[in-house]
Structures are given as structure tokens and as C-alpha cells.
Amino acid sequence: MDKIAVKDLFGKSDIEYIDSYVFSKENPWDLLGGIKEYVKTLCARGIDGFTIIDENVLVGKNVTIAKTATIIGPTIIGNNVEIRPGAYIRGSVIVGDDSVVGNSSELKNAILMRHAQVPHYNYVGDSIIGNFAHMGAGSILSNLKSDGKNVVIHGEIDHETGIRKIGGFLGDHADIGCGSVLNPGTVIGQNTQVYPLSMLRGVFKANKIVKSQNEIVDRK
């Protein structure tokens, strides 16, 4: 069976409020429906050392937010995060410590764990980005099928999610090449590298180099 359980994709971030939520489910797609209420609860309760800068927007220490960035709650921005010009955070988002949300990148109903990078013209909707994962410039996590039907994650077996909007799940240290499009429900395993300009669908195992949908080699 495909290794797409939460524990197979992500290691602990050592950020308590992220780990306690991410590791509360077995399947990563089961986390998506609860992000909004979880973040609202944290914003109402507060996190030690964090500051409310707008309604349901809670921000940690040493955070840089460009004047032209837009942040809509409920959103939590962790410590040492950089939010660059033109970034658009649409709510129901957690950005973990040391992460980068780049120029003209858009986030919606998503979790970025520690040191995740979406630095240039990226779309991240209904997705989870693992620790130290990186999206190259212009890479997209598409989250809605053209027929509007529920997303099925296709691997060695098909996983019926029962969810209409799912983007991607990028394991720790995954690296997505520039200009790539990951179709709804695509899963990239830990330490797997995707070539630029790829169009992918399905489950890609850990420690691979993905040259195309059907050309995959071990990463040494």
C-alpha cells in the first residue's frame, strides 16, 4: 500500500500547536476540513509570545510582512517567517516557523510546517507542506477537478477521500521544480525531487527523482 499516512510524510516540526493537530489524524486529507476552526480556536486562546495584528490573525516573533501582502484570518504566522510583497493569505492557514511565503504566492486552507518555502508565484490551496519542503517558482498545487467531483487519490490503490477540494501533500524535504502543476490529490513523498515543468497526478514515493509522470528513478 502507498505510504501516504501522515506519519510517513511528515516528521515532528517541534512546534506544539502544529504537531498536535497534524498528527491527530492518520490520513492527511482528513486534516483539511478542520483547519479553519482549529486556527480560530488558537487565535481566541492565544499563543505565548504571539500578537494579534488583525481579526483572527496571530503572529509570532521576528516576522517580516511586506506592506503589499494581504493576510485574512483565521491565520497563524509562526516565528521568523517572511511574508514577501504581493503575498495573499486567504485564511484558514498556519505558516510554521522559519517559512517563506513569497511574492504573489497565494495560500488558502493550508498548513506549512517548519521551514517550508513557497517563495515565488505559487498557489497552495487545501494542502499541507512538510518541513523543509520547497516549491519552485510558478509551481501550483491545483485543488479542484475540472468536473467538480470529489478527489480520488490514485496510487497502488485508489483512496476515495469524499472531499471536493484537495491540493497536494508534500512530504518533508520534497522539492517541486519550477513551473510544475500537481493535479488535485497529488502526494509527494519525503526527499523526493520533481523536475521543472512537470504535470503530475497520483502518489510518488519517498526518495525518488520524478522526471515525468512515468519516468521515476531512485534519489541517491
User: What average pLDDT score do residues 71-95 get?
Assistant: 97
Taking the CA atoms of residue 89, residue 136, residue 34 and residue 56 in that order, the dihedral angle to the nearest 10 degrees is -20
Question: Which of 115, 120, 134, 154 is labelled catalytic?
Answer: 120
What is residue 1's predicted lDDT score, i.e. its pLDDT?
A: 47
At 10, the pLDDT band (50, 70, 90 cuts) reads very high
Question: Per DSSP, which regions of 47-182 are E strands?
Answer: 51-54, 57-59, 64-65, 70-71, 75-77, 82-83, 88-89, 93-95, 100-103, 106-112, 117-120, 123-129, 134-135, 140-141, 152-154, 158-160, 168-170, 175-176, 181-182
User: What average pLDDT score do residues 177-193 get?
Assistant: 97
Indicate if 159 belongs to the active site: no
What is residue 155's predicted lDDT score, i.e. its pLDDT?
A: 87
Say whether pLDDT at 139 is over 50: yes
* CA-to-CA dists, residue 91 to 55, 75, 77, 206, angstroms: 11, 5, 11, 30
What is residue 3's predicted lDDT score, i.e. its pLDDT?
A: 66
What is residue 2's predicted lDDT score, i.e. its pLDDT?
A: 62
- Cβ contact 84:69 at 8 Å: yes
Contacts of 164 (CB under 8 A, 6+ apart): 144, 148, 149, 150, 151
Tell me whether the omega of the peptide bond preceding residue 85 falls within 30 degrees of 0, making it cis. Answer: no
What is residue 220's predicted lDDT score, i.e. its pLDDT?
A: 84
Contacts of 200 (CB under 8 A, 6+ apart): 180, 181, 182, 183, 186, 194, 210, 213
User: What average pLDDT score do residues 154-158 get?
Assistant: 89
Give me 126's grid cell. Answer: 487545501
Cα 143 from Cα 122, distance rounded (Å): 13
Cα 126 from Cα 107, distance rounded (Å): 8
pLDDT tens string 16-30: 999 999 999 999 999
Label the pairing between strands 93-95 and 75-77: parallel
User: What average pLDDT score do residues 106-133 get?
Assistant: 98
Nearest to 93 by CA among 144, 31, 50: 31
pLDDT tens string 192-201: 999 999 999 9
Burial of 139 (0-12, 13-18, 19+ CB in 10 A): buried
Cα 86 from Cα 120, distance rounded (Å): 10
